[in-house]
Structure 1
Amino acid sequence: MELSAPLAVPAGPRSSWAALRRLGPYLRPVRLPVGAAAAATLGALLCGLAVPLVTQRIVDGPLSTGDAGAAVRPILLVAALGAAEAALFYARRKLIARPTALVESRMRADLLAHLLRLPVAFHDRWPSGQLLSRAVGDLVVLRKFLAFAALFLVVNSVTVLVGLGVLFLIDPWLALVGLAGAAPLLLVSYFYETRYKVAARATQDEGGHLATLVEETMLGIRVVRAYGQGRGRLAVFRAQAERLRTAELRVVRIMAALSTALLVLPELGIAGQLGLGAVGVANSTLSLGDLVAAVTVSTYLRWPTECIGWALAETSTAAAACDRYWEVRDTPPGLTDPARPRPPVRPARGHLRLEHVEFRYPGAGRPVLRDVSLELRPGETVALVGATGSGKTTLAALVPRLADVTAGRVTVDGVDVRELRLADLRAVVGCAFDDPLLSSLTVRENVTLGAPEATDDAVWEALRVAGAADFVAALGPDGLAVRVGEQGMSLSGGQRQRIALARAIVGRPALLVLDDPLSALDLHTEAEVERALRRVLRRSTALVVAHRPNTARMADRVVLLEDGRITARGTHRELLAASAAYRALMAVDPRPAGETHDDGVVVR
């Protein structure tokens, strides 16, 4: 476990406004409620903007004439405008909440669906914490942007334009003075927005790194404690948290400078209006009501103006989040269904052929597999044996099409696997890997992952075949309903592997791909599962990646893979006799079974 190197994520483009424009397909279905929310917001702001005009009438009318009775109706109108403003803001919240939450959920579902289609190599390259931060944190940012910042950016811009129009109607000179104070905000906002955009992206990336670090530490907590690396891991966490804090403080400093400008410049404009207006009132070229109305409108426009600056900053954050989202979504899926899929053979026989197969990882200098040809007849079990790095797991992954060959072809029942729908292929092929990963679900849900329609009787039968029925029954009155904990860590390694084996066979697939299915079993359990496997293998075709003599001995034939090529074929006994490389891998004496060493040890 890495304790010092900083976590990396593939670099993507800096945030761009184009990424936000790509939200169009998600917004079109909810455009009516979003438009209604925008209209309600604009109506509320215009109600507030009308109050200074009513105030002008009160000052120049009842207040100047001393007619208190004439002020009642304008005052009631102000109260009505205030009530309408509050009601319209309430309507905005009600109208905007559901559609933006719907956009968020659809984007999250589409992201997960895309992640499930991406090749395994992509997931090997991308830290899971970065993917998690995009699926959760970044989409929350986008939802809040759509519900608040985007709405107010548009509505407040309209409000400011209308407010300026009102100011010009009241007095053009006062409007120009107010505009002179507000105009520099455009330059200031652009200056800080470009810096905020970069800082916001850096903060989101650092947050993803920290999420990855926490996840890896929690998942590897046993290793961390076993090696006494708690302090070292904490030091790495503190260093990463400090990088995140530095990035966040940079965002705060930029926002503080922007907020200061947004507060000071409009105030200078209002001060200029008061000075010019005072001269006008003194010279009787401007009424007191006009001055009060102009200053009140300018004061009212302070919040929309400040809000525009805040919304621009939030837009930068949303653009960065959107870029991070599309970085993943734009990755082309490695494996897709063919445009014109062929129907699978019914009933499936499990006849597997590999014809001159080559496989090369993207960017690799040499292929992992070279000119591999192999046939598994229906009902036959073939063990695949080889040293670490010889290509065994890669070859096994080609059968359920977890990866595609770069040359040659793989067929099941005579049909190229690339011509079958993935769902049809994987209904025929059952898999159990050497890393028996389980989800934090019930035993039943883990076993029926690939066969959700399986009955409880079928699940128990699969568990019995895998040698797992007894310990599952001991978990509780209804062992199938017991949750196994995150990654199945509440179970032993052997128990996890037996549940993974049950998962592979519960759907009674015609073809089994088993990657060292006995690796995590003790000798007693291995013997039990071996006996059960023999029953299963009699009714299925099976390709078994083997590391133990007992596993290879179960096979009808054994294939030796060396440096990506098949170098020997035969039964377990034949290869023991003929291949020194095979004997070295199996660590078995070449003499026939039952022959006794000088020290009395019997070779099986």
Structure 2
Amino acid sequence: MRIRDLPYPDPGEPDVRSGFRLMLWLWRSQLGGQLKALAWGTLHMAAVASFPLAVGMAVQAATERSGDRLVLAGALTVALGLAVTVGDTMLHRAAVTNWITAAARVQQLLARRTAELGAALTRRVAAGEVVAVSTGDIEKIGWFVEAVSRFGAASLTTAGVCTALVVYEPLLGVVVTLGVLVLVSAVLPLLPPATRRADAQRAKAGRATELAADTVAGLRVLRGIGGEELFLDRYRRASQEVRRAAVRTARMWSLIDAVQVVLPGLLLIAVVWLGTRLALDGRVAVGELVTVYGAVTFLLFPLRLFQEIAMAYSFSRPSAERAARVLGLRRLTRAGAARAGGDARLPHGDLYDPVSGLLAPAGDLTAVVCGDPDAAGRLAERLGGHGTGSGTDGPSVLLGGVALDDVPLEAARTAVLVQDKDPVLLSGTLGELLDVPSSGAVAPGRALEAAQCGDVLAALVRAGGAPDGDPMRARITERGRSLSGGQRQRLALARSLVADPQVLVLDEPTSAVDSHTEARVAGALRRLRAGRTTVVFSSSPLLLDRADRVVFVSGGEVTAVGTHRELLADEPGYRAVVAREAGGDDDNGTDGTAGTGRATAGTAGVREPRRHEQMEENA
């Protein structure tokens, strides 16, 4: 694989049983590139290691006044120089290619897993951990995978040089070989504590990244409640912990560096002293002494690579563990469940969740009321097929009697679309925002009208980002930060209506919208989605009164089903949730009282979201 050929047509299926197995799988996946780097690295280091031989030959030829041998030594030096140049250049190309392609493979795998899990991903792992893996971690993983081939070249060259020294000058060769073994043995005991300190540093850095990501995501709300300083102090403390951990790690690596300088220096002094004694005794020629000295000096270079591979492993192992943990998440865990293949036909019929007992008849507008907003979000994810696969969420949701887990991912997402309570708007034009896969039955204009986006379009045009006054060409900033909460909700609703899925699940689609707009949205939603299955999670009476049926969920299970008026009159728990701001439980079950309670709840139920929306606009 060349860099120009990225991305991979298929990044493959990684081994995620552990971080080490993941890195080993990455190494095997680019075996050709690793062998190239090993070959070029061996050529480069062997050529560098042979320079002392050429220098020794030249010195010996000069002492013996041999012109022919001096010419031979010069020619050998030129040849070795060319070999070093070619080997170093090609090694660098191969090493960088291995690094980038390994990182790109992990990045593609992460993107595939993120797309597969969707909104369920951040419920099973922290958003900050996903950010850490997809940014700094993939570089560290690629570093180690790439360094393996250079370490292999250094090992082969070191073994070859030591063997050649033993053959060339046995006494000095044995001393050098034993000295190299002592150097490696002296460094090995220092690596485990260095690795532990590096792990602690990476863990603290990961927590700091998670805190930063969560803070940025909630910055608007923090500004509204004046909580910036609180979170700033938390991040400052986390940052200082990372700094102290980094200092402790640096101290250990500094000690390893010092050992790598002192011990080779002592070895070099011992070799020079012994070689000088042998030369004075006439047992070693001057050229041979120069050759041995140069070889010992060269051995300091591969020893540095031994330290690099140890450092690369210590930093990449926790990164690989995190990557393996994220890549190990699966949408499916049941035996025999379909993955990418299988029957891609879209199922039709009622939507049924066997865990909660929720049934949404085909073609109806079903409203779901939950006392716990978090439970409502989890149930909405389950209805979209995103809540399953963890092994703890129970059997799959059924659509027309077919388990969504048994349907290929693309077909499942085409059939069921879930809009969560905090939808994301990507930067771009309004036309690009609404350019989504769809049935083509709902035009963008109809969707915008149904979502009551007239004031949003006017605001976009007034902002000056719409050439020729065309709102479809107006620019939307990242995550729609220039818009209020209610405006973002309505644009997201319009996008979902354009998609026109067979089943549309909306989680609190109008929580930040005023009551008059909410009433118009409820009526338009019912008309536009006529004949299509729609499930709305909401406690707003304005939406509930427009539903064909209302389902009350308490404790994770369906406890009552009926119309809004019936449940308001006959179900105290339902009335306590829907009309809680109108005085809580109301035991008066007459239609008039129920209607009054519903109207009051409708007014009160939107007062707090509007105050929150105003807070966001002021922030």
Residues 129 and 206, structure 2, Cα contact 8 Å, conserved in 1: yes
Instruction: Pick which of 433-442 and 317-326 moved more.
Output: 433-442
Name 2:351's counterpart in structure 1. 352
Contact 1:197 1:320 in 2 (8 A): no
Stretch deviating more after TM superposition (308-317 or 262-271): 308-317
Partner residue of 1:383?
367
Indicate conservation of the 8 Å contact 1:119/1:403, yes or no.
Answer: no
Contact 1:595 1:602 in 2 (8 A): no
Partners of 2:235 and 2:367 lie apart in 1 by 44
Whether the 8 Å CA contact 2:425–2:480 is kept in 1: the answer is: yes
Q: What's 1:10 paired with?
A: none
Which structure 2 segments of 5+ residues have no match?
1-15, 461-465, 583-587, 604-619
Structure 1 residue 160, shift from structure 2 partner: 1.2
The match for 1:419 is 406
3-state DSSP of counterpart to 1:569: strand
Summarize the alignment of residues 258-297 of structure 1 with structure 2, pairs less than 5 Å apart.
258-297=256-295
Q: 1:190 is matched with which residue: 188, 195, 200?
A: 188
Describe the shift of the 1:602–1:582 C-alpha distance in structure 2 as closer, same or farther (beyond 3 A).
closer
1:95-147 CA-partner distances (Å, limit 9, x unpaired): 33234312211111112322444586662353212221112211101222333
Tell me how far 1:73 sits from its aligned partner: 4.3
Residue-by-residue CA offset, 1:484-506 (whole Å, 9 max, x unaligned): 33332221111111122122221
Aligned runs of 1:95-174 on 2, under 5 Å?
95-118=94-117, 123-147=122-146, 149-174=147-172
Match of 2:555 among 557, 560, 563: 563
1:522 matched to 2:514: yes
Report the alpha carbon displacement of residue 173 of structure 1 after superposing the two structures with TM. 1.1
Supply the AA of the counterpart residue of 1:411.
L
1:583-603 deviation line (CA, Å, top 9, x unaligned): 443337855459999xxx999
Secondary structure, aligned partner of 1:554: coil
> 1:432 aligned to 2:419?
yes
Residue aligning to 2:201: 203
**Distance apart, 1:436 and its partner CA:** 2.9
- In structure 1, what is the equivalent of residue 387 of structure 2? 403
Tell me the alpha carbon deviations over residues 164-222 of structure 1, each in whole angstroms, 9 at most, x when there is no partner.
12222331111222234322122222111112221222222222112112222222222
In the TM superposition, what is the alpha-carbon distance from 1:43 to its structure 2 partner? 1.0
Cα shift readout 1:356-393 (whole Å, capped 9, x = no counterpart): x33xxxxxxxxxx4xx36352x3322222342369544
Give the structure 1 partner of residue 298 of structure 2.
Answer: 300
Contact 1:118 1:335 in 2 (8 A): no
2:80 maps to 1:88: no
Hey, what does 1:325 align to over in structure 2?
323
Q: Distance in 2 between matches of 1:29 and 1:574?
A: 62
| 2:564 equivalent in structure 1 | 572
In structure 1, list runs of 5 or more residues that go unmatched: 1-15, 359-368
SS at match of 1:434: coil
Q: Which residue of 441, 459, 479 corresponds with 1:487?
A: 479
Most deviating of 34-43 and 574-583: 574-583
Is the contact between residue 26 and residue 145 of structure 2 (CA under 8 Å) also seen in structure 1? Answer: no
Deviation of 1:435 after TM superposition, in Å, equals 2.5
TM-score relative to the length of structure 2: 0.82
Deviates more, 1:190-199 or 1:460-469: 460-469
TM-superposed deviation, 1:427: 1.7
1:432 & 1:121 partners in 2: Cα distance? 12
How far off its partner does 1:426 sit? 2.7
**Kept in 1: contact 2:503–2:532 (CA 8 A):** yes
**SS of residue paired to 2:417:** strand
The offset of 1:90, in angstroms, is 0.9
Which secondary structure does the structure 1 equivalent of 2:30 belong to? helix
Q: Could you tell me how far apart the structure 2 residues matched to 1:407 and 1:286 are?
A: 80
Indicate if the aligned counterparts of 1:401 and 1:417 stay in contact, CA closer than 8 A.
yes
Q: Distance in 2 between matches of 1:596 and 1:345?
A: 41
Instruction: Deviation per CA, 1:443-497: give whole Å up to 9, x if none.
Output: 3444445x26869x82333222222255236521354454533332221111111
Distance in 2, Cα, partners of 1:462 & 1:334 = 34
Deviations 1:224-267 (A, max 9, x none): 33333333323222211121112212221111111111112222
Counterpart contact for 1:593–1:603, Cα < 8 Å: no
Would the alpha carbon gap of residues 256 and 54 (structure 1) be closer, same or farther in structure 2, given more than 3 Å must change?
same
For the Cα contact (< 8 Å) 2:22–2:324, is it kept in 1? no
After superposition, give the CA deviation of every residue in 1:245-303 in whole Å (9 maximum; x if it has no partner): 12212221111111111112222222122222222222212211111111111112222
Percent identity between the aligned chains? 27
Conserved in 2, the CA contact under 8 Å of 1:118 and 1:334? no
1:1-12 equivalences under 5 Å are none
Q: Secondary structure at the match of 2:476?
A: coil
Question: Does the residue aligned with 1:555 lie in a helix, a strand or coil?
Answer: coil
Q: Distance in 2 between matches of 1:419 and 1:443?
A: 35
SS at match of 1:195: helix
Whether the 8 Å contact between 1:428 and 1:510 is mirrored in structure 2 is: yes
- For 1:551, the equivalent position in structure 2 comes to 543
Which residue, out of 513, 530, 534, partners 1:538? Answer: 530
Bigger fraction of residues in helix: 2
TM-score by length of 1: 0.84
Q: 456, 460, 475: which one pairs with 1:471?
A: 456
Size of the alignment, in residue pairs? 565
Asked whether the equivalents of residues 119 and 335 of structure 1 are also in contact (C-alpha less than 8 Å), the reply is no
